[in-house]
Structure 1
Amino acid sequence: MSDYAAVPDESGHIDVPGGKVWYRLNRSANSGAVPLIVLHGGPGNSHDYLLPLLELVPDRSVVLYDQLDCGRSQRVGDTRKWTLERFTDEIDAVREHLGLGQVHLFASSWGCSIAINYAARQPAGLCSLALSGPLVDAKRWMADCERLKAQLPDHLQAVMRRCEAQRDFTSPEYLEAVNAFYVRHLCRVQPWPQIVVDTMDNCATELYGYMWGPTEFFGTGTLADLDLTPKLASIEVPTLFMCGAHDEGTPESGRAFAAMVRGAEFCCIPEASHMPHIENPEPFFRHLRAFIAKATPRT
Protein backbone atom coordinates (compact mmCIF):
# COMPACT_ATOMS: atom_id res chain seq x y z
CA MET A 1 0.00 0.00 0.00
CA SER A 2 1.10 3.56 -0.69
CA ASP A 3 3.32 5.25 1.88
CA TYR A 4 0.87 8.16 1.74
CA ALA A 5 -1.71 6.10 3.64
CA ALA A 6 0.00 6.52 7.00
CA VAL A 7 -0.22 10.29 7.41
CA PRO A 8 -2.51 12.72 5.60
CA ASP A 9 -1.30 16.21 4.78
CA GLU A 10 -4.59 17.55 6.10
CA SER A 11 -7.55 16.07 7.95
CA GLY A 12 -10.50 17.18 9.99
CA HIS A 13 -14.24 17.63 9.83
CA ILE A 14 -16.42 19.36 7.26
CA ASP A 15 -19.94 20.67 7.76
CA VAL A 16 -22.34 18.88 5.42
CA PRO A 17 -26.14 18.80 5.35
CA GLY A 18 -27.14 17.02 8.55
CA GLY A 19 -23.83 16.99 10.43
CA LYS A 20 -20.05 16.75 10.04
CA VAL A 21 -17.97 14.33 7.98
CA TRP A 22 -14.32 13.44 8.55
CA TYR A 23 -11.91 13.77 5.63
CA ARG A 24 -8.26 13.26 4.83
CA LEU A 25 -6.30 14.95 2.03
CA ASN A 26 -2.93 14.02 0.59
CA ARG A 27 -1.50 16.69 -1.69
CA SER A 28 0.47 15.95 -4.83
CA ALA A 29 3.60 17.82 -5.83
CA ASN A 30 1.84 18.04 -9.19
CA SER A 31 -0.21 20.98 -7.90
CA GLY A 32 -1.79 21.78 -11.26
CA ALA A 33 -3.46 18.36 -11.61
CA VAL A 34 -7.19 17.95 -11.06
CA PRO A 35 -7.71 16.24 -7.67
CA LEU A 36 -9.56 12.99 -7.04
CA ILE A 37 -12.38 12.51 -4.51
CA VAL A 38 -12.96 8.92 -3.36
CA LEU A 39 -16.38 7.63 -2.25
CA HIS A 40 -16.61 4.49 -0.11
CA GLY A 41 -19.26 1.79 -0.18
CA GLY A 42 -21.67 0.34 2.31
CA PRO A 43 -23.92 2.03 3.05
CA GLY A 44 -22.19 2.38 6.39
CA ASN A 45 -18.60 1.42 5.62
CA SER A 46 -15.56 3.66 6.12
CA HIS A 47 -12.85 4.89 3.77
CA ASP A 48 -10.17 2.52 5.15
CA TYR A 49 -10.35 -0.20 2.48
CA LEU A 50 -9.86 2.48 -0.19
CA LEU A 51 -6.57 3.78 1.20
CA PRO A 52 -4.70 2.11 -1.70
CA LEU A 53 -6.19 4.84 -3.94
CA LEU A 54 -3.49 7.07 -2.43
CA GLU A 55 -1.25 5.29 -4.93
CA LEU A 56 -2.42 8.07 -7.27
CA VAL A 57 -0.98 10.89 -5.15
CA PRO A 58 2.16 11.29 -7.30
CA ASP A 59 -0.25 12.17 -10.13
CA ARG A 60 -2.77 14.32 -8.26
CA SER A 61 -4.10 15.17 -4.80
CA VAL A 62 -6.51 12.61 -3.31
CA VAL A 63 -9.37 13.20 -0.87
CA LEU A 64 -11.05 10.40 1.06
CA TYR A 65 -13.89 10.97 3.52
CA ASP A 66 -16.28 8.99 5.67
CA GLN A 67 -19.93 9.62 4.90
CA LEU A 68 -22.16 10.90 7.69
CA ASP A 69 -22.73 8.30 10.42
CA CYS A 70 -19.78 6.29 9.07
CA GLY A 71 -16.19 5.76 10.22
CA ARG A 72 -14.73 8.83 11.91
CA SER A 73 -17.60 11.12 10.91
CA GLN A 74 -20.30 12.38 13.25
CA ARG A 75 -22.74 9.65 14.32
CA VAL A 76 -26.05 11.51 14.17
CA GLY A 77 -28.22 8.40 14.11
CA ASP A 78 -31.16 10.12 12.39
CA THR A 79 -32.73 7.82 9.79
CA ARG A 80 -34.32 10.84 8.08
CA LYS A 81 -30.81 11.75 6.92
CA TRP A 82 -30.09 8.31 5.48
CA THR A 83 -31.14 9.08 1.93
CA LEU A 84 -29.36 8.96 -1.41
CA GLU A 85 -30.02 12.65 -2.05
CA ARG A 86 -28.53 13.81 1.26
CA PHE A 87 -25.45 11.61 0.85
CA THR A 88 -25.09 13.07 -2.64
CA ASP A 89 -25.22 16.62 -1.24
CA GLU A 90 -22.12 15.81 0.83
CA ILE A 91 -19.92 15.94 -2.27
CA ASP A 92 -20.66 19.61 -2.92
CA ALA A 93 -20.00 20.42 0.74
CA VAL A 94 -16.61 18.67 0.60
CA ARG A 95 -15.71 20.41 -2.65
CA GLU A 96 -16.70 23.82 -1.33
CA HIS A 97 -14.77 23.38 1.93
CA LEU A 98 -11.61 22.32 0.10
CA GLY A 99 -12.01 24.81 -2.74
CA LEU A 100 -12.06 22.14 -5.43
CA GLY A 101 -13.26 23.78 -8.62
CA GLN A 102 -12.54 20.72 -10.75
CA VAL A 103 -12.55 17.10 -9.57
CA HIS A 104 -12.42 13.53 -10.72
CA LEU A 105 -14.64 11.10 -8.78
CA PHE A 106 -13.79 7.51 -7.94
CA ALA A 107 -16.45 5.42 -6.22
CA SER A 108 -16.82 1.86 -4.96
CA SER A 109 -20.03 -0.18 -4.63
CA TRP A 110 -22.73 1.93 -2.88
CA GLY A 111 -20.47 4.94 -3.36
CA CYS A 112 -21.17 4.50 -7.09
CA SER A 113 -24.88 5.06 -6.42
CA ILE A 114 -23.95 8.42 -4.90
CA ALA A 115 -21.52 9.23 -7.72
CA ILE A 116 -24.05 8.39 -10.46
CA ASN A 117 -26.72 10.47 -8.75
CA TYR A 118 -24.23 13.34 -8.48
CA ALA A 119 -23.04 13.13 -12.08
CA ALA A 120 -26.64 13.06 -13.31
CA ARG A 121 -27.05 16.52 -11.76
CA GLN A 122 -24.35 17.63 -14.22
CA PRO A 123 -22.39 19.66 -11.64
CA ALA A 124 -19.87 22.22 -12.83
CA GLY A 125 -16.24 21.10 -12.64
CA LEU A 126 -16.82 17.35 -12.61
CA CYS A 127 -14.21 15.99 -15.03
CA SER A 128 -14.71 12.22 -14.91
CA LEU A 129 -16.35 9.33 -13.11
CA ALA A 130 -14.74 5.96 -12.28
CA LEU A 131 -17.13 3.36 -10.85
CA SER A 132 -15.85 0.12 -9.31
CA GLY A 133 -18.33 -2.71 -8.64
CA PRO A 134 -21.23 -0.26 -8.95
CA LEU A 135 -24.59 -0.63 -7.23
CA VAL A 136 -26.88 0.77 -9.94
CA ASP A 137 -30.01 -1.39 -9.86
CA ALA A 138 -30.72 -3.18 -6.58
CA LYS A 139 -32.96 -5.84 -8.09
CA ARG A 140 -30.36 -6.68 -10.73
CA TRP A 141 -27.68 -6.76 -8.01
CA MET A 142 -29.65 -9.28 -5.97
CA ALA A 143 -30.45 -11.38 -9.05
CA ASP A 144 -26.73 -11.47 -9.88
CA CYS A 145 -25.96 -12.51 -6.32
CA GLU A 146 -28.55 -15.30 -6.50
CA ARG A 147 -26.70 -16.73 -9.49
CA LEU A 148 -23.41 -16.48 -7.59
CA LYS A 149 -24.94 -18.13 -4.52
CA ALA A 150 -26.02 -21.02 -6.73
CA GLN A 151 -22.33 -21.77 -7.34
CA LEU A 152 -21.68 -22.38 -3.63
CA PRO A 153 -21.63 -25.93 -2.23
CA ASP A 154 -25.11 -27.39 -1.84
CA HIS A 155 -25.00 -27.54 1.95
CA LEU A 156 -24.21 -23.82 2.19
CA GLN A 157 -27.03 -22.98 -0.20
CA ALA A 158 -29.39 -25.03 1.98
CA VAL A 159 -28.29 -23.14 5.10
CA MET A 160 -28.83 -19.80 3.34
CA ARG A 161 -32.32 -20.75 2.14
CA ARG A 162 -33.37 -22.00 5.56
CA CYS A 163 -31.98 -19.07 7.56
CA GLU A 164 -33.22 -16.41 5.15
CA ALA A 165 -36.72 -17.92 5.19
CA GLN A 166 -36.63 -17.80 9.01
CA ARG A 167 -34.99 -14.34 9.03
CA ASP A 168 -32.20 -15.86 11.12
CA PHE A 169 -29.16 -13.85 10.10
CA THR A 170 -27.01 -14.39 13.20
CA SER A 171 -26.68 -18.17 13.49
CA PRO A 172 -23.10 -19.49 13.21
CA GLU A 173 -24.14 -21.71 10.29
CA TYR A 174 -25.49 -18.75 8.34
CA LEU A 175 -22.48 -16.57 9.11
CA GLU A 176 -20.21 -19.37 7.86
CA ALA A 177 -22.16 -19.50 4.60
CA VAL A 178 -22.07 -15.71 4.23
CA ASN A 179 -18.31 -15.75 4.76
CA ALA A 180 -17.93 -18.37 2.02
CA PHE A 181 -19.73 -16.00 -0.37
CA TYR A 182 -17.61 -13.04 0.74
CA VAL A 183 -14.34 -14.96 0.28
CA ARG A 184 -15.34 -15.59 -3.34
CA HIS A 185 -17.06 -12.33 -4.26
CA LEU A 186 -16.17 -9.54 -1.80
CA CYS A 187 -12.41 -9.88 -1.24
CA ARG A 188 -10.44 -12.92 -2.36
CA VAL A 189 -7.22 -12.01 -0.51
CA GLN A 190 -6.97 -14.30 2.50
CA PRO A 191 -6.62 -13.42 5.26
CA TRP A 192 -8.24 -10.06 4.68
CA PRO A 193 -5.77 -7.15 4.81
CA GLN A 194 -5.99 -4.98 7.91
CA ILE A 195 -7.62 -2.13 5.96
CA VAL A 196 -10.50 -4.44 5.03
CA VAL A 197 -10.78 -5.68 8.61
CA ASP A 198 -10.81 -2.06 9.82
CA THR A 199 -13.59 -1.22 7.38
CA MET A 200 -15.71 -4.14 8.57
CA ASP A 201 -15.02 -3.36 12.22
CA ASN A 202 -15.98 0.29 11.67
CA CYS A 203 -19.15 -0.52 9.74
CA ALA A 204 -22.23 1.38 10.89
CA THR A 205 -24.35 -1.75 11.06
CA GLU A 206 -27.61 0.04 11.85
CA LEU A 207 -27.19 2.29 8.81
CA TYR A 208 -26.22 -0.70 6.63
CA GLY A 209 -29.23 -2.69 7.77
CA TYR A 210 -31.64 0.22 7.42
CA MET A 211 -30.60 1.17 3.90
CA TRP A 212 -29.48 -2.19 2.50
CA GLY A 213 -30.10 -5.28 4.65
CA PRO A 214 -28.44 -8.08 6.63
CA THR A 215 -25.93 -9.18 3.96
CA GLU A 216 -24.46 -8.04 0.63
CA PHE A 217 -26.80 -10.36 -1.25
CA PHE A 218 -30.04 -9.92 0.74
CA GLY A 219 -31.29 -6.37 0.30
CA THR A 220 -34.36 -5.58 2.39
CA GLY A 221 -33.80 -1.90 3.29
CA THR A 222 -34.73 1.45 1.79
CA LEU A 223 -32.48 0.81 -1.23
CA ALA A 224 -34.27 -2.42 -2.19
CA ASP A 225 -36.05 -0.64 -5.05
CA LEU A 226 -33.09 1.52 -6.10
CA ASP A 227 -32.80 1.81 -9.88
CA LEU A 228 -30.47 4.48 -11.24
CA THR A 229 -30.44 3.18 -14.82
CA PRO A 230 -32.72 6.03 -16.01
CA LYS A 231 -30.08 8.50 -14.80
CA LEU A 232 -27.19 6.96 -16.71
CA ALA A 233 -28.11 8.74 -19.94
CA SER A 234 -27.78 12.09 -18.11
CA ILE A 235 -24.08 11.56 -17.40
CA GLU A 236 -22.04 13.79 -19.70
CA VAL A 237 -18.49 13.30 -18.37
CA PRO A 238 -16.06 10.52 -19.35
CA THR A 239 -17.05 7.44 -17.35
CA LEU A 240 -15.26 4.18 -16.56
CA PHE A 241 -17.04 1.12 -15.21
CA MET A 242 -14.72 -1.36 -13.46
CA CYS A 243 -15.21 -4.67 -11.71
CA GLY A 244 -13.42 -7.84 -10.75
CA ALA A 245 -13.96 -11.01 -12.75
CA HIS A 246 -15.63 -12.57 -9.66
CA ASP A 247 -17.32 -9.37 -8.45
CA GLU A 248 -20.74 -9.43 -6.81
CA GLY A 249 -21.33 -6.44 -9.12
CA THR A 250 -20.87 -8.79 -12.05
CA PRO A 251 -18.99 -8.09 -15.30
CA GLU A 252 -22.18 -8.77 -17.28
CA SER A 253 -24.03 -6.03 -15.40
CA GLY A 254 -21.04 -3.68 -15.57
CA ARG A 255 -20.92 -3.98 -19.36
CA ALA A 256 -24.67 -3.43 -19.61
CA PHE A 257 -24.54 -0.29 -17.47
CA ALA A 258 -21.56 1.07 -19.40
CA ALA A 259 -23.55 0.72 -22.61
CA MET A 260 -26.15 3.10 -21.14
CA VAL A 261 -23.64 5.97 -20.69
CA ARG A 262 -22.57 7.78 -23.81
CA GLY A 263 -18.95 6.94 -24.61
CA ALA A 264 -18.35 5.03 -21.36
CA GLU A 265 -15.54 2.49 -21.01
CA PHE A 266 -15.58 -0.84 -19.22
CA CYS A 267 -12.77 -2.98 -17.85
CA CYS A 268 -12.79 -6.26 -15.95
CA ILE A 269 -9.89 -7.01 -13.61
CA PRO A 270 -8.88 -10.69 -13.65
CA GLU A 271 -8.35 -12.71 -10.45
CA ALA A 272 -10.34 -10.18 -8.41
CA SER A 273 -13.81 -9.66 -7.00
CA HIS A 274 -15.35 -6.59 -5.32
CA MET A 275 -12.06 -5.04 -4.21
CA PRO A 276 -9.85 -5.25 -7.31
CA HIS A 277 -7.71 -2.35 -6.08
CA ILE A 278 -6.56 -4.72 -3.30
CA GLU A 279 -6.81 -8.10 -5.01
CA ASN A 280 -5.05 -7.30 -8.30
CA PRO A 281 -3.75 -3.74 -8.06
CA GLU A 282 -1.38 -3.66 -11.05
CA PRO A 283 -3.99 -3.85 -13.84
CA PHE A 284 -6.50 -1.94 -11.72
CA PHE A 285 -4.28 1.11 -11.33
CA ARG A 286 -2.97 0.87 -14.88
CA HIS A 287 -6.51 1.14 -16.25
CA LEU A 288 -7.58 3.81 -13.77
CA ARG A 289 -4.51 6.00 -14.31
CA ALA A 290 -4.84 5.84 -18.09
CA PHE A 291 -8.54 6.69 -17.93
CA ILE A 292 -8.11 9.70 -15.60
CA ALA A 293 -5.16 11.00 -17.61
CA LYS A 294 -7.22 10.82 -20.80
CA ALA A 295 -10.22 12.47 -19.10
CA THR A 296 -8.23 15.36 -17.58
CA PRO A 297 -9.07 18.73 -19.20
CA ARG A 298 -6.27 20.23 -21.26
CA THR A 299 -5.06 23.70 -20.22
Structure 2
Amino acid sequence: MRVEIEPGVRLFFDVEGAGLVPMDDGTLCRRPTVILLHGGPGMDHSGWKPRMSPLADVAQLIYYDHRSHGRSDRGPSSEWTLDRWADDIVLLCEALEIERPIVFGQSFGGMVAQRYIERHPGHPAKVILSSCSPHFGLERKLAAFDRRGGAAAREAARAYWADPSPASFDAFLRICLPLYSTTPQADRSAPSSAAFDGELLDSWNRNELPHVDLLPGLARAACPVLVFGGADDPITPIEDQRDIAAALPAHLVRYVEFANAGHGVWRDKPVEAMAMLREFITA
Protein backbone atom coordinates (compact mmCIF):
# COMPACT_ATOMS: atom_id res chain seq x y z
CA MET A 1 0.00 0.00 0.00
CA ARG A 2 1.06 3.58 -0.54
CA VAL A 3 -0.16 6.74 1.15
CA GLU A 4 0.31 10.37 0.14
CA ILE A 5 2.09 12.26 2.90
CA GLU A 6 2.29 15.55 1.02
CA PRO A 7 1.27 16.59 -2.49
CA GLY A 8 2.95 14.30 -5.01
CA VAL A 9 4.85 12.19 -2.43
CA ARG A 10 3.65 8.69 -1.56
CA LEU A 11 5.32 6.30 0.87
CA PHE A 12 4.94 2.54 0.69
CA PHE A 13 3.85 0.94 3.95
CA ASP A 14 2.73 -2.44 5.23
CA VAL A 15 0.93 -3.39 8.44
CA GLU A 16 1.30 -6.46 10.65
CA GLY A 17 -0.83 -7.05 13.74
CA ALA A 18 -4.07 -5.51 14.91
CA GLY A 19 -4.24 -2.09 16.49
CA LEU A 20 -7.55 -2.87 18.22
CA VAL A 21 -7.92 -6.33 19.76
CA PRO A 22 -11.24 -7.76 21.01
CA MET A 23 -11.28 -8.78 24.66
CA ASP A 24 -13.34 -11.49 26.38
CA ASP A 25 -15.75 -8.87 27.74
CA GLY A 26 -16.51 -7.56 24.23
CA THR A 27 -14.46 -4.39 24.53
CA LEU A 28 -11.57 -3.46 22.28
CA CYS A 29 -8.04 -3.08 23.64
CA ARG A 30 -5.72 -0.66 21.84
CA ARG A 31 -2.20 -1.92 21.25
CA PRO A 32 0.77 0.39 20.75
CA THR A 33 1.87 1.14 17.20
CA VAL A 34 5.53 0.55 16.38
CA ILE A 35 6.89 2.33 13.31
CA LEU A 36 9.94 0.54 11.91
CA LEU A 37 12.66 2.63 10.24
CA HIS A 38 14.83 0.45 8.04
CA GLY A 39 18.57 0.67 7.47
CA GLY A 40 20.53 1.76 4.45
CA PRO A 41 20.29 4.21 2.97
CA GLY A 42 19.38 2.76 -0.40
CA MET A 43 17.55 -0.26 1.05
CA ASP A 44 13.89 -0.99 1.84
CA HIS A 45 11.84 -2.32 4.73
CA SER A 46 12.24 -6.01 3.81
CA GLY A 47 15.19 -6.50 6.17
CA TRP A 48 12.74 -6.33 9.07
CA LYS A 49 10.71 -9.30 7.82
CA PRO A 50 10.07 -11.85 9.25
CA ARG A 51 12.34 -11.04 12.18
CA MET A 52 9.96 -8.56 13.80
CA SER A 53 6.81 -10.65 13.29
CA PRO A 54 6.91 -12.08 16.84
CA LEU A 55 6.18 -8.58 18.15
CA ALA A 56 2.87 -8.43 16.29
CA ASP A 57 1.08 -10.09 19.21
CA VAL A 58 1.86 -7.12 21.48
CA ALA A 59 1.87 -4.22 19.00
CA GLN A 60 0.72 -3.11 15.60
CA LEU A 61 3.78 -2.95 13.33
CA ILE A 62 4.07 -0.38 10.55
CA TYR A 63 6.80 -1.14 8.02
CA TYR A 64 7.57 1.53 5.44
CA ASP A 65 10.14 2.54 2.87
CA HIS A 66 11.77 5.91 3.46
CA ARG A 67 11.15 8.60 0.86
CA SER A 68 13.08 7.75 -2.34
CA HIS A 69 13.63 4.18 -1.12
CA GLY A 70 12.17 0.87 -2.23
CA ARG A 71 8.55 1.18 -3.32
CA SER A 72 8.10 4.75 -2.11
CA ASP A 73 8.14 7.63 -4.57
CA ARG A 74 11.58 8.70 -5.61
CA GLY A 75 12.31 12.38 -5.12
CA PRO A 76 15.18 14.63 -6.18
CA SER A 77 18.56 14.26 -4.50
CA SER A 78 17.94 17.52 -2.65
CA GLU A 79 15.43 15.55 -0.54
CA TRP A 80 17.92 12.85 0.47
CA THR A 81 18.55 14.34 3.91
CA LEU A 82 18.10 13.34 7.52
CA ASP A 83 15.85 16.34 8.14
CA ARG A 84 13.46 15.28 5.36
CA TRP A 85 13.41 11.62 6.41
CA ALA A 86 12.87 12.58 10.06
CA ASP A 87 9.98 14.91 9.21
CA ASP A 88 8.42 12.16 7.08
CA ILE A 89 7.77 10.13 10.24
CA VAL A 90 5.40 12.84 11.43
CA LEU A 91 3.79 13.19 8.00
CA LEU A 92 3.25 9.43 7.78
CA CYS A 93 1.64 9.38 11.20
CA GLU A 94 -0.66 12.23 10.21
CA ALA A 95 -1.66 10.44 7.01
CA LEU A 96 -2.39 7.18 8.86
CA GLU A 97 -3.89 8.91 11.94
CA ILE A 98 -1.32 7.39 14.29
CA GLU A 99 -0.85 9.12 17.62
CA ARG A 100 2.05 8.66 20.03
CA PRO A 101 3.92 5.95 18.10
CA ILE A 102 6.87 3.91 19.26
CA VAL A 103 9.56 4.70 16.69
CA PHE A 104 12.12 1.93 16.16
CA GLY A 105 15.20 2.79 14.07
CA GLN A 106 17.84 0.27 13.01
CA SER A 107 21.29 1.35 11.72
CA PHE A 108 20.68 4.24 9.27
CA GLY A 109 17.06 4.19 10.44
CA GLY A 110 18.40 4.86 13.92
CA MET A 111 20.14 7.97 12.62
CA VAL A 112 16.81 9.12 11.18
CA ALA A 113 15.21 8.43 14.56
CA GLN A 114 17.85 10.47 16.35
CA ARG A 115 17.19 13.48 14.12
CA TYR A 116 13.45 12.90 14.70
CA ILE A 117 14.07 13.12 18.46
CA GLU A 118 15.75 16.48 17.94
CA ARG A 119 13.12 17.94 15.60
CA HIS A 120 9.95 16.40 17.08
CA PRO A 121 10.66 15.53 20.74
CA GLY A 122 7.01 15.59 21.80
CA HIS A 123 5.74 13.32 19.02
CA PRO A 124 6.68 9.74 20.06
CA ALA A 125 5.59 7.73 23.07
CA LYS A 126 8.91 5.86 23.02
CA VAL A 127 11.95 5.51 20.77
CA ILE A 128 14.16 2.47 20.15
CA LEU A 129 17.66 3.01 18.75
CA SER A 130 19.30 -0.19 17.54
CA SER A 131 22.84 -0.62 16.21
CA CYS A 132 23.23 2.97 15.10
CA SER A 133 25.76 5.78 15.15
CA PRO A 134 25.41 9.47 16.02
CA HIS A 135 28.14 10.51 13.57
CA PHE A 136 30.45 9.15 10.86
CA GLY A 137 33.23 8.06 13.23
CA LEU A 138 35.41 6.61 10.48
CA GLU A 139 38.39 5.74 12.66
CA ARG A 140 36.18 3.74 15.02
CA LYS A 141 34.70 1.83 12.11
CA LEU A 142 38.10 1.06 10.63
CA ALA A 143 39.43 -0.13 13.99
CA ALA A 144 36.35 -2.31 14.49
CA PHE A 145 36.67 -3.89 11.03
CA ASP A 146 40.33 -4.54 11.75
CA ARG A 147 39.41 -6.35 14.97
CA ARG A 148 36.80 -8.45 13.20
CA GLY A 149 38.52 -9.14 9.87
CA GLY A 150 42.09 -7.94 9.97
CA ALA A 151 43.93 -5.65 7.59
CA ALA A 152 41.95 -6.76 4.52
CA ALA A 153 38.65 -5.71 6.09
CA ARG A 154 40.08 -2.43 7.31
CA GLU A 155 41.42 -1.62 3.85
CA ALA A 156 38.19 -2.54 2.07
CA ALA A 157 36.23 -0.28 4.42
CA ARG A 158 38.75 2.56 4.09
CA ALA A 159 38.75 2.31 0.29
CA TYR A 160 34.98 2.43 0.07
CA TRP A 161 34.52 5.52 2.23
CA ALA A 162 37.48 7.25 0.58
CA ASP A 163 35.77 6.91 -2.80
CA PRO A 164 32.20 5.52 -2.71
CA SER A 165 31.62 3.76 -6.03
CA PRO A 166 30.17 0.50 -7.37
CA ALA A 167 33.63 -1.07 -7.56
CA SER A 168 34.68 -0.20 -4.01
CA PHE A 169 31.24 -1.18 -2.71
CA ASP A 170 31.50 -4.61 -4.33
CA ALA A 171 34.74 -5.21 -2.43
CA PHE A 172 33.14 -3.94 0.76
CA LEU A 173 30.22 -6.35 0.37
CA ARG A 174 32.48 -9.30 -0.30
CA ILE A 175 34.96 -8.68 2.53
CA CYS A 176 33.17 -6.61 5.16
CA LEU A 177 29.50 -7.55 5.05
CA PRO A 178 30.06 -11.10 6.37
CA LEU A 179 31.63 -9.53 9.47
CA TYR A 180 28.47 -7.68 10.51
CA SER A 181 27.13 -10.72 12.40
CA THR A 182 28.91 -13.05 14.80
CA THR A 183 26.91 -16.17 13.94
CA PRO A 184 27.32 -17.94 10.58
CA GLN A 185 23.64 -18.78 10.43
CA ALA A 186 22.63 -15.12 10.64
CA ASP A 187 20.99 -13.97 7.42
CA ARG A 188 23.42 -11.40 6.10
CA SER A 189 23.10 -11.49 2.33
CA ALA A 190 24.04 -8.72 -0.07
CA PRO A 191 21.26 -6.27 -0.94
CA SER A 192 19.02 -7.46 -3.73
CA SER A 193 18.95 -5.58 -7.00
CA ALA A 194 15.20 -5.02 -6.54
CA ALA A 195 15.66 -3.14 -3.27
CA PHE A 196 19.11 -1.61 -3.45
CA ASP A 197 19.82 1.91 -4.73
CA GLY A 198 23.56 2.45 -5.02
CA GLU A 199 23.22 6.04 -6.23
CA LEU A 200 21.37 7.04 -3.08
CA LEU A 201 23.87 5.25 -0.83
CA ASP A 202 26.89 6.81 -2.55
CA SER A 203 25.30 10.26 -2.37
CA TRP A 204 24.70 9.85 1.37
CA ASN A 205 28.25 8.67 2.03
CA ARG A 206 29.75 11.52 0.03
CA ASN A 207 27.52 14.43 0.94
CA GLU A 208 25.81 14.13 4.32
CA LEU A 209 27.27 11.33 6.43
CA PRO A 210 30.73 12.94 6.89
CA HIS A 211 29.09 16.02 8.47
CA VAL A 212 26.47 14.39 10.72
CA ASP A 213 26.60 15.03 14.47
CA LEU A 214 23.42 13.91 16.21
CA LEU A 215 24.64 13.96 19.80
CA PRO A 216 23.65 17.55 20.72
CA GLY A 217 20.05 17.02 19.61
CA LEU A 218 19.56 13.97 21.81
CA ALA A 219 19.30 16.19 24.88
CA ARG A 220 15.84 17.20 23.60
CA ALA A 221 14.41 13.70 24.13
CA ALA A 222 11.13 13.81 26.04
CA CYS A 223 10.15 10.12 26.17
CA PRO A 224 11.74 6.80 27.18
CA VAL A 225 14.51 5.71 24.78
CA LEU A 226 15.95 2.20 24.53
CA VAL A 227 19.49 2.09 23.12
CA PHE A 228 21.07 -1.27 22.38
CA GLY A 229 23.81 -2.78 20.28
CA GLY A 230 26.26 -5.61 19.86
CA ALA A 231 29.74 -5.46 21.32
CA ASP A 232 31.21 -6.95 18.12
CA ASP A 233 29.44 -4.68 15.63
CA PRO A 234 32.00 -3.25 13.16
CA ILE A 235 29.76 -0.89 11.15
CA THR A 236 28.20 0.93 14.13
CA PRO A 237 30.80 0.23 16.84
CA ILE A 238 29.58 -0.25 20.38
CA GLU A 239 31.36 2.95 21.45
CA ASP A 240 28.82 4.81 19.30
CA GLN A 241 25.93 3.27 21.24
CA ARG A 242 27.57 4.31 24.48
CA ASP A 243 27.92 7.89 23.22
CA ILE A 244 24.24 7.95 22.27
CA ALA A 245 23.14 6.68 25.67
CA ALA A 246 25.35 9.23 27.45
CA ALA A 247 23.90 12.10 25.39
CA LEU A 248 20.27 11.29 26.25
CA PRO A 249 18.61 12.53 29.46
CA ALA A 250 19.67 10.02 32.10
CA HIS A 251 16.18 9.54 33.53
CA LEU A 252 14.80 8.55 30.10
CA VAL A 253 17.44 6.23 28.68
CA ARG A 254 17.78 2.48 28.98
CA TYR A 255 21.02 1.08 27.59
CA VAL A 256 21.69 -2.60 26.86
CA GLU A 257 24.92 -3.98 25.43
CA PHE A 258 25.03 -7.53 24.07
CA ALA A 259 28.28 -9.51 24.19
CA ASN A 260 29.14 -11.77 21.24
CA ALA A 261 26.66 -9.97 18.97
CA GLY A 262 27.03 -7.79 15.91
CA HIS A 263 24.91 -5.47 13.80
CA GLY A 264 21.21 -5.96 14.48
CA VAL A 265 21.39 -7.88 17.74
CA TRP A 266 18.30 -10.00 17.01
CA ARG A 267 20.27 -11.79 14.28
CA ASP A 268 22.82 -13.12 16.78
CA LYS A 269 20.79 -13.07 20.02
CA PRO A 270 17.19 -13.44 18.84
CA VAL A 271 15.69 -14.78 22.07
CA GLU A 272 17.30 -12.20 24.32
CA ALA A 273 16.69 -9.29 21.95
CA MET A 274 13.03 -10.12 21.42
CA ALA A 275 12.40 -10.49 25.14
CA MET A 276 13.95 -7.07 25.75
CA LEU A 277 11.93 -5.44 22.95
CA ARG A 278 8.64 -6.95 24.12
CA GLU A 279 9.26 -5.75 27.67
CA PHE A 280 10.11 -2.20 26.55
CA ILE A 281 7.16 -1.95 24.15
CA THR A 282 4.61 -3.17 26.68
CA ALA A 283 5.96 -1.43 29.80
1:243 matched to which residue of 2? Answer: 229
Aligned positions of 1:41-120 closer than 5 A: 41-51=39-49, 52-76=51-75, 78-120=76-118
Q: Could you state the TM-score of these two structures normalised by the residue count of structure 2? A: 0.84
Kindly state the Cα deviation for residue 178 of structure 1 after the two structures are TM-superposed. 4.6
Q: Could you state the TM-score of these two structures normalised by the residue count of structure 1? A: 0.80
Alignment CA distance shift 1:145-1:158 (3 Å)? closer
Task: Say what the alpha-carbon RMSD is for the aligned residues.
Answer: 2.7
Alignment CA distance shift 1:191-1:204 (3 Å)? farther
* 1:136-181 alpha-carbon deviations (Å, 9 max, x no partner): 111x2x22111123333345555666x5698485558x84465332
| Consecutive aligned runs of 4 or more in structure 1 exceeding 6 Å deviation | none
Alignment CA distance shift 1:71-1:192 (3 Å)? farther
1:297 matched to which residue of 2? Answer: none
Alignment CA distance shift 1:17-1:115 (3 Å)? farther
Stretch moving more, 97-106 or 24-33: 24-33
Kindly state the Cα deviation for residue 125 of structure 1 after the two structures are TM-superposed. 4.4
Instruction: Indicate which of 237, 245, 248 corresponds to 1:258.
Output: 245
1:204 matched to which residue of 2? Answer: 197
Alignment CA distance shift 1:18-1:116 (3 Å)? farther
Aligned positions of 1:153-192 closer than 5 A: 153-155=150-152, 157=154, 163=159, 167=163, 170-171=166-167, 175-176=170-171, 178-185=173-180, 187-190=181-184
Alignment CA distance shift 1:18-1:119 (3 Å)? farther
2:210 matched to which residue of 1? Answer: 224
Conservation of the 8 A alpha-carbon contact between 1:144 and 1:250: yes
Conservation of the 8 A alpha-carbon contact between 1:16 and 1:89: no
Helix, strand or coil for the counterpart of 1:183?
A: helix
Conservation of the 8 A alpha-carbon contact between 1:132 and 1:241: yes
| 1:143 equivalenced with 2:143 (yes/no) | no
Distance in 1, matches of 2:123 and 2:160, equals 45
Distance in 2, matches of 1:98 and 1:159, equals 42
Conservation of the 8 A alpha-carbon contact between 1:38 and 1:106: yes
* 1:248-280 alpha-carbon deviations (Å, 9 max, x no partner): 222222122201111211112333211222232
Structure 2 gaps of 5+ residues are 22-28
Distance in 1, matches of 2:81 and 2:118, equals 16
Conservation of the 8 A alpha-carbon contact between 1:18 and 1:81: no
Distance in 2, matches of 1:27 and 1:160, equals 39
